[in-house]
């Protein structure tokens, strides 16, 4: 049995401004750091064998705060990065409409495909299953990558609810199938 806790990073100023972050390296804000500390307090008494994070600062910093409370280190993997949002990174909805019109989503703006994001997420998950059997792994990443990956791993679960900042979703892999123990939980900050 392999247990994986998928965590979305703490909040950033761009989250609050509704700006698309994508792979732009935006740090946590003070609230995001408080969310990470609250998550660390929640998880420090649990058994987690290894922590992985996206190499983008907002996910890595969230992971490092949790890891410090547990006395473990964080490994990074670029497959855990947020989707590359191309030309729209750093923009708000209003700015996108002003720049490209109402149908901006249909334009070739160099945005990474959903298939590419899912491939990265599933590739990393397969890596964990191959290398951490009978282990518990915490994975710190980003909203789009996590949402699209989880949709593939647990199609029986309604994953339409937007993942909240610092939320944890816990899956267990046993006998070739996935079971969702916890979805989008933020009781540490609620």
Active site residue 89: no
For residue 79, CA distances in Å to 23, 30, 82, 106 come to 11, 26, 9, 25
Residues 6+ apart with CB under 8 A from 77: 52, 53, 54, 55, 124
Evaluate if pTM is beyond 0.95: yes
Encode the chain (190 residues) as per-residue pLDDT tens digits.
999 999 999 999 999 999 999 999 999 999 999 999 999 999 998 999 999 999 999 999 999 999 999 999 999 999 999 999 999 999 999 999 999 999 999 999 999 999 999 999 999 999 999 999 999 999 999 999 999 999 999 999 999 999 999 999 999 999 999 999 999 999 999 7
Active site residue 82: yes
Looking at the DSSP bridge assignments, the partners of residue 168 are: 7, 185
Residue 178 DSSP one-character state: E
Exactly one of 9, 61, 89, 142 is catalytic; which is it?
9
24 touches 83 (CB < 8 A): no
Exactly one of 61, 64, 82, 112 is catalytic; which is it?
82
């Amino acid at each position: 049995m392999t247990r994986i806790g998928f965590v979305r990073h703490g909040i950033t100023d761009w989250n609050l401004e509704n700006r698309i972050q994508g792979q732009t390296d935006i740090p946590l804000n003070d609230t995001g750091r408080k969310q990470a500390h609250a998550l660390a307090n929640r998880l420090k008494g649990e058994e987690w064998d290894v922590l992985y994070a996206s190499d983008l600062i907002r996910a890595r910093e969230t992971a490092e705060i949790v890891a410090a409370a547990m006395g473990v280190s964080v490994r990074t993997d670029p497959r855990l990065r947020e989707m590359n949002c191309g030309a729209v990174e750093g923009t708000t909805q209003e700015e996108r409409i002003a720049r490209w019109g109402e149908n901006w989503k249909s334009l070739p703006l160099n945005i990474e495909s959903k298939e590419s994001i899912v491939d990265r997420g599933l590739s990393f998950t397969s890596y964990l299953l191959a290398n951490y059997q009978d282990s518990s792994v915490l994975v710190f990443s980003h909203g789009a990558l996590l949402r699209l990956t989880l949709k593939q791993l647990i199609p029986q679960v309604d994953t339409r609810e937007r993942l909240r900042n610092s939320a944890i979703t816990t899956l267990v892999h046993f006998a070739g199938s996935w079971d969702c123990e916890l979805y989008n939980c933020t009781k540490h900050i609620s």
